[in-house]
Amino acid sequence: MITFEEAFSRILHHCRPLPSERVCLSDSLNRVLACDVYATDDLPPFDASAADGYAVSSADLLEASPEDPVAFRLQDIVVAGSRSSVALEKRATARILTGAPVPDGADCVVMQEYVETRPGEVVFVAPGYPGDNIRRRGSELRAGALALRSGLHISPAGVAMLATLGLGQADVYRRPRIAVMATGSELVAPGQPLLPGQIRDSNSFGLMAAVKALGLQTVRVVTVPDDPALIKNELKLCLDDADVVLISGGVSVGDRDYVKEVALSLGVREVFWRISIKPGKPNFFGVMEGKYLFGLPGNPVASLVSFHLLVRPAIARLMGLIDVLPLRITATLGSELRKKHGRTEFVRAVLASEAQQWIVKPLRAQDSNMMSGLAQATALIVFPLEAEYLAAGGVVEVIPLYWNELR
Ligand code: AMP
Ligand code: MG
């Protein structure tokens, strides 16, 4: 049995980003940039006004004050998308709107709130200074400069930045194809009658939804009884179709747990089996020629928590993300917790903000089969390996449960 940290680092050691592909800008959201991107033009591309006002030469305005106002002739009007054809003359000003190019001869823009207008004339009551209210050409980036680095997780702001740089397409890492296989002779799909001894198959649906929440698709979802020949056939098909195969159940030490031996017989190399965590002890991870196999626990809570803590970072790394460590914050524990030492526990909890502090309250229903707790949980409290007691009011580490985030 290995620790959670060891399992995590072994997974990351084996998962390499998939090859890149070119997608159109509108499909680049939530993907990871596969190359550095350089600016082809200066950004901003010209000196632009940052306000609605009047463009002037600051040298002509040095003396202006409320007692000594200075009147300028209104020479021109420049709006965004247009430009002045002639330079400003002495003691002349141009009406200018936000985003319009600053005319030649002007080095500052005075906001319209600080002038008085008369027909054909503008009166300034305060001095202006060079650069006032002007966004300088190239002040953000020079043509040829590095704008975005490979490995960037493309957020809506990332999409906007690619658009700003003029790119209609982006090179991003390919998304993994994922197959889900639930094993268990007791499983019945929702909507079917439940016969004695049977239970509903929730893992197929939970894992499929977890994949979907990350913006990915499952290429194959199957339920298989505990029969080694059938498991082998289905697993072969899954390994053919997918980059990542998620199997639930049949990976523990029971007489009917065939997943591990079937996987090994197909040429999957074991990276680890069993982790000192709760929920999620019977976890198997194996690799085969660029394919990744997760043998997840059958217990539904353990299966989804393992997905969140181990599979999601693997998927993020395959998609090209560099930092995939799940985000952890600290919070005040709402009620005391006890456990045995020797395993890290992830306690389902609700995270709330009270008096500008994070408070985390453990939920009841903590057994590995009790989905009601996980369905309400918004966080997992990390109960460290060797600890046996966490006092109410103490500070604990918490992993927020954002199912739709890559980390
Ligand atoms: P196993 O790891 O196959 O021994 O399964 C552990 C427990 O999880 C058993 O109580 C199974 O009935 C249950 N289980 C296994 N697979 C599923 C599933 N797909 N949906 C819901 N419960 C499951
Ligand atoms: Mg089973």
Confidence of residue 11 (pLDDT cuts 50, 70, 90): very high
CA–CA separation, 118 and 336 (whole Å): 73
pLDDT in tens, 124-170: 999 999 999 999 999 999 999 999 999 999 999 999 999 999 999 99
Ligand 1: atom nearest CA of 202 is 20
Residue type, 195: L
2 alpha carbon – ligand 1 mean position (Å): 23
Nearest atom, ligand 1, residue 254 CA: 4
pLDDT of residue 368: 83
**Four-CA torsion 248, 252, 258, 259, nearest 10 degrees:** 40
Per-residue confidence (pLDDT) for residue 280, from 0 to 100: 95
Nearest-atom number in ligand 1 for the CA of 203 is 19
Closest ligand relative to 189 C-alpha = 1
CB 95 within 8 A of CB 78: yes
From 188, 258, 369, mutation site for ligand 1 pocket: most ligand atoms within 8 A of C-beta = 369
The string of DSSP codes covering 121-188 is EEEE-S---TTTTEE-TTSSB-TTSEEE-TT-B--HHHHHHHHHTT-SEEEEEPPPPEEEEEE-TTEE
Distance CA 377, CA 363 (A): 7
Give the SS3 label for residue 87. Answer: coil
User: Does residue 367 surpass a pLDDT of 90?
Assistant: no
Confidence of residue 85 (pLDDT cuts 50, 70, 90): confident
Residue to substitute in 208, 221, 248 for testing ligand 1 pocket (most ligand atoms within 8 angstroms of CB) = 248
Mean model confidence pLDDT for the chain? 96
Q: How far, in Å, is the centroid of ligand 2 from the Cα of 337? A: 30
Run of H or E residues at 232 = helix 228-241
What is the Å distance from ligand 1's center to 228 Cα? Answer: 16
What pLDDT, on the 0 to 100 scale, is given for residue 71? Answer: 96
Q: What is the pLDDT of residue 407?
A: 83
User: For residue 163, what are its two tokens?
Assistant: 């658009």
Nearest CA to ligand 1 atom 15: 298
Report residues whose beta carbon is within 6 angstroms of any ligand 1 atom: 182, 184, 186-187, 199, 201-204, 248-250, 252, 254, 297-300
Burial class (CB in 10 A: 0-12, 13-18, 19+), 237: middle
Are 341 and 388 contacting, i.e. CB atoms less than 8 angstroms apart? Answer: yes
Ligand 1 pocket, mutate which of 199, 370, 372, 374 (most atoms under 8 A from CB) = 199
* Ligand 1 atom at minimum distance from 226 CA: 3
Mean pLDDT of 305-312: 98
Q: What is the pLDDT of residues 28-84, one digit of tens each?
A: 999 999 999 999 999 999 999 999 999 999 998 988 999 999 999 999 999 999 999
Q: Is the peptide bond before 279 cis (omega within 30 degrees of 0)?
A: yes
Average pLDDT for residues 288-305, to the nearest whole number?
Answer: 97
Measure 257 CA to ligand 2 centroid, in angstroms: 6
- Which-ligand-closest: CA of 206? 1
- Residue 98: which pLDDT band, with cuts at 50, 70 and 90? very high
In whole angstroms, give the CA distance from residue 220 to residue 82: 55
Q: Whose CA is nearest to atom 10 of ligand 1?
A: 299
The predicted pLDDT at position 63 comes to 86
Residues 6+ apart with CB under 8 A from 87: 103, 104, 105
Residue pair 172/406 in contact by the 8 Å Cβ criterion: no
Torsion of CA 164, 165, 169, 174, to 10 degrees: -100
In the reported structure, the alpha carbon of residue 368 is separated from the centroid of ligand 2 by a whole-number distance in angstroms of: 14
Nearest CA to ligand 1 atom 5: 298
Q: What is the pLDDT of residues 309-357, one digit of tens each?
A: 999 999 999 999 999 999 999 999 999 999 999 999 999 999 999 989 9
Supply 47's token pair.
């000196």
Distance 87 CA to ligand 2 centre (A): 81
- pLDDT of 365 reads 83
Q: Judge contact between 247 and 183, C-beta under 8 A.
A: yes
pLDDT on residue 395: 98
For Cα atoms 400, 407, 161, give the angle at the middle one, nearest 5 degrees.
120
**Mutation choice for ligand 1 from 204, 299, 304, CB with most ligand atoms inside 8 A:** 299
**Residue-level pLDDT at 366:** 83
Task: Please report which confidence band the pLDDT of residue 369 belongs to, taking 50, 70 and 90 as the band edges.
Answer: confident
Residue whose structure tokens are 């658009």: 163
Cross-strand partners of 270: 286
* Atom of ligand 1 minimally distant from the CA of 297: 2
Classified as helix, coil or strand, 238 is helix
Pocket test for ligand 1, best of 188, 200, 203, 257 (most atoms within 8 A of CB): 203
